Structure 1
């Protein structure tokens, strides 16, 4: 029975050894290449002498340089020449509707409406306002002149009233002080009731006048402003004794000033006991004269009684 061929899957044939696997095959395949030449040794570089180290200067402080801003670069902007819009009122260049100034001459495209001219009287005040041409200078001059003349005339006419108002204001703001006359003279008086009793400071003594028309004059040392006059009518301030004698319900006040001018005033009194204040407000008073008028309860055996007169000046 013939032998069966070996199975390749069960016993694989061994590979022949490679030519370079063993170093012992150099004899079987001798090399014919020439041996590499031996390199020459390098030539040594010449040795330079070492220079001595020079001393280095220390680093000094250095001021920093000023920064320089870069110069702006102007880039031309291309503007289309053909623009549809409102022409400029100054140069006539058309501009787009959204522009406020002309793209050529920079004039405002929508100038504000010019204000209406002011009337001539508005050019008078303030004085620093510049007057416009043809603004009525002649009329303005005439009006100013008329106003100045009216103020001057009013000042002259109202000067006494203004002076009196000023003095009255001072009288009310100031404090009144009593003043005593240095001389008293009556045209008629009772022996037991002289006129000096009107300035003795007592309200239970009085000046007795025999009839209406009798007067008493008070003289002062120096001129003064008579602010108030306080009169206690009747024989006494007591209510029980007040009706025992006659009273004058009216008096004529005559004031002589320092320059000789006389001022008259009629005083009306109430028929009641106690002091009564009479505001006067007369300046430069030198003498005061009181004349009794309008008697009441004047019967036989009675006389007109005046208890007290007090004068007050401005402090």
Structure 2
């Protein structure tokens, strides 16, 4: 078998041209395995074998006769085919070479055209880049000039905004102070009303107590009168037994209270001995009412100093007055001291003297426990006695903490700083280092924080809310924002949508989100804040004002200024 060197088709050993590509078969010296050729011709030989087996015997003799002639004809045909194949191969090679040359020429032309086109495009790109650089330089010059003009205007504007923010803060503090003052006045009015009611109740109680005291005094006076009448009656009975003479110089002895004297006293004249002319006339009935007797105010005796009484004195069991041990009756109330004992006072412990209740004293008529003491001053309570001690303890603890515990000093410093930032802040401008936010027509989010109100951020308001992530570049205490709505302050202010409600979040912190409501105004709008220790802010526009007639559905913000609280 012979394998074609071009298409690798297997041909019979006596073939001159390839049965597939009609190329001239050349012997390569590598025999083809029968098994390999059998796989190609097995289907054809299977049909011929059956017929050949029958005709083989008959055709064997004819084949042998024709073999020599066929071999000679085959050799001649092979030589002719080889010559023809060689001619065809040469012609094909020449045609292929011509085709390759044509293709190479076309490729060269295409390469030259491509290089020319690339050079033209490069030249056009260079010219466009040069024009863009020139345009950028012109715009930069215009922006620089506009920025300089805007800076001069912004300085005055910032001063005005700081004054507005400070005025707003002062107004807030004034409102808080006014509310506190109103609450204090209301509390004072309530306390005054309660004090008035308490005073009325006290006066009523004092009047009632005075009435009770007057009634008690009248009862005591009546009792004293009854006692005097009883004593007088006793003395009258004694007069019946003996009557002293006028010239008797003897003095009656001292009579111990409670015992009847053995000597007769003055006799009360009987009604029979009184002359009728000396009798008072009978009182006639009248419409005039008898005036009520006024209570007799007996002055209280001044207490004698305790140091005038010697040691071992006897105290009265009734009034508690100290008396000399030689006395039998109290020097104040006159009650007998027979049952009196010398009290043994145990010294009170120090903690009871410090924290215990004051000794109980007898209250006068109209007084109440816990009321005003002598001189109209309130009696000191336990809390009143503890306040000075608590103040001393707090001061001592503060001084000791500052000396011994440095952390306490830092905590106090932080507290002072927090109070200063809250009530006496100073606001300074902060310029963020960058901002990210999807923009339209080249108006990206960074234009909202570029410190230039001639540029603006233009965002879509479609499926999601416009969001601007601002990188402040340092950790600050954010004190205020100043929002410039819209793309311009001119008549085209309503050409785009303007923000109405902003939601402020602070990544990386536990600060809660803050919602801010703006007005539909082209003027700067300050927003007072107090957010501590942040380095970035996410501003989400959750609601907006619709654009005017002929406007679009895009949202515009000229500038957002940041103020640091220091």
TM class by shorter chain equals 0.3 to 0.5
Higher helix share: 2
Higher RCO (Cα < 8 Å, 6 or more apart)? 1
Higher strand share: 1
